[in-house]
Amino acid sequence: MKKQLIYLSLIVFAGILVMYGCSSNKAKVNPTPSSPAATVSIQNFAFDPATVTIKVGSSVTWTNMDTAPHTATDLGNAFDSGSLATGKTFNFTFNAAGTYTYHCLIHSMMKNATVIVTN
Ligand SMILES: [Cu+2]
């Protein structure tokens, strides 16, 4: 009986670990509905909004509103705006679903921005 209890608690513990592992990846999923297209302002050394959700085949347009140059660079190399001067825009169309995490190559604190592309 005691052995069964130990097995049971091990199984529950493993289950919690698995659930935690899965949810930690998906915790950042934005519950807002997917948009046909999205715009992101780069302002005050931040991407605003930091997360956008779009449908496959839609595009995101970034606009640099700062006086400093910025980039929008995907960590998985799906897209890279290159250096955007003040007022410049970059547009990218996402043809594959997934979560794209991007950052600014010039400013290391501008990180963890995401584009979520849904089917
Ligand atoms: Cu920057």
Instruction: Give 62-74 pLDDT, tens digit per residue.
Output: 999 999 999 999 9
Ligand 1 centre distance from Cα of residue 71 (Å): 6
User: In the chain, what are the domain boundaries?
Assistant: 35-118
Parts of the chain with a pLDDT under 50: 1, 6, 8, 10-13, 15-31
Ligand 1 centre distance from Cα of residue 72 (Å): 8
Closest CA to 113 of 36, 57, 30: 30
The answer to whether 35 and 61 have CB atoms below 8 angstroms apart is: no
Residue-level pLDDT at 4: 59
Q: Which amino acid is at 22?
A: C
Ligand 1 centre distance from Cα of residue 90 (Å): 14
Ligand 1 centre distance from Cα of residue 65 (Å): 11
Q: For 35-46, what is each residue's pLDDT tens digit?
A: 679 999 999 999
Ligand 1 centre distance from Cα of residue 74 (Å): 13
Ligand 1 centre distance from Cα of residue 106 (Å): 5
CATH of domain 35-118: 2.60.40.420
